[in-house]
Amino acid sequence: MKGLARVYDAEDLGQHGQWRFTREYHVEPEMTLAFYELYEAAFGPLRTQAMARQVLTESEFAAQMVDDAVMKYVAWDDEGRPVGMCTMTRRLETVPWISPQYFEARYPEHWARDAVWYFGFVLAHPSQRHARFLDQMVEIGIRDPLADRAVCGYDMCAYNVDTLPLGQRLADAFERVTGAVPERADGQYYYTLDFT
């Protein structure tokens, strides 16, 4: 994929390390396709690694790209290619697999001041999966929740936590960048029975 012409408005967050970052609110269809290719490269392998569906369909992904309530933080390489993305929102109803009421009940003060955020996904192109890149993505993506003195939630399948171990790498990045340590809030187990 060659560098992409910018055909939409985005807030330029500047150069950080070897990447340039932007905050996107409404992504045009031609860019959505490029972003979906990046998403597919990062999340596609989870189709066979997790029992619960981990991968958005192309139409679900496209809907998030045009939803202004979902902020998209994008990392670009020096050739103008997207190499990382993080989505987050404080409109928790945009995340169909979580319960906004869970957060409202546990964090009433944060909820009352609209300071509960959720990370939809954090992804990196396979060529960028190292601590320095993850730290930069976290540093850029966490700015608004930090300014809000917010509570943030995110989820991860067991494969990402136990096998990759992406869960620990992300927790380490959050701690390095913010000083906060993620706490496990909930869990879900899936079972099978084989009657052959």
Report how many domains make up the chain.
1
At 94, the amino acid letter reads: T
Q: With helix as H, strand as E and coil as C, how does 146-158 read?
A: HHHCCEEECCCCH
Model confidence pTM above 0.85? no
35-83 tens-digit pLDDT:
999 899 888 989 999 888 888 999 999 999 999 999 999 999 999 888 8
pLDDT of residue 75: 92
**CATH code for position 19:** 3.40.630.30
193 part of a folded domain: no
49 part of a folded domain: yes
The mean pLDDT value for 173-181 works out to: 91
Coil, strand or helix: which one is 88? Answer: strand
Q: Which residues form the domain of 127?
A: 11-178
14-47 tens-digit pLDDT:
888 889 999 999 988 888 998 999 899 888 989 9
